[in-house]
Structure 1
Amino acid sequence: MFKFLKDVNREMRKVTWPKSNELTKYTIIVIMTVIFVSVFFTVVDLGISQILELL
């Protein structure tokens, strides 16, 4: 168990973490993607609902 945690610590030191501006950019991209997908599926759901009401 201790060897595992020691290895994890060693590997985490090798990780290159994003800079502040990169992190902001990636966060905005993720939020915009979530909004786009949400709107897309809402429109598709409303469209399917309207088609089913016509039948």
Structure 2
Amino acid sequence: MTSLTQFFRNVSSEMRKVSWPKRKELTGYTVTVIVTVTILALFFAGIDQIISRSVRFILGL
């Protein structure tokens, strides 16, 4: 049990050392991730449609 208590003390100590992002930075990062994911999703959906239509055309479906 001592090692578990020590582990949580160490975790608490390390968490105090973490440099957390400010609200403005966090908002900027979040917007960047959402925009990037959306663009990539649209890109891959378009590529999927092109490949699907090409395969259907080749197979004559």
Runs (4+) off by over 4 Å: none
Q: CA RMSD in A?
A: 0.5
Q: Give the number of aligned pairs.
A: 55
Query: Which residue, out of 50, 54, 61, partners 1:47?
Result: 50
**Radius of gyration: which is bigger?**
2
Provide the TM-score with structure 1 as the length reference. Answer: 0.96
Unaligned runs of 5+ in 2: none
Provide the TM-score with structure 2 as the length reference. Answer: 0.87
Shift of residue 37, structure 1, vs aligned partner: 1.1
* Percent identity between the two aligned chains: 44
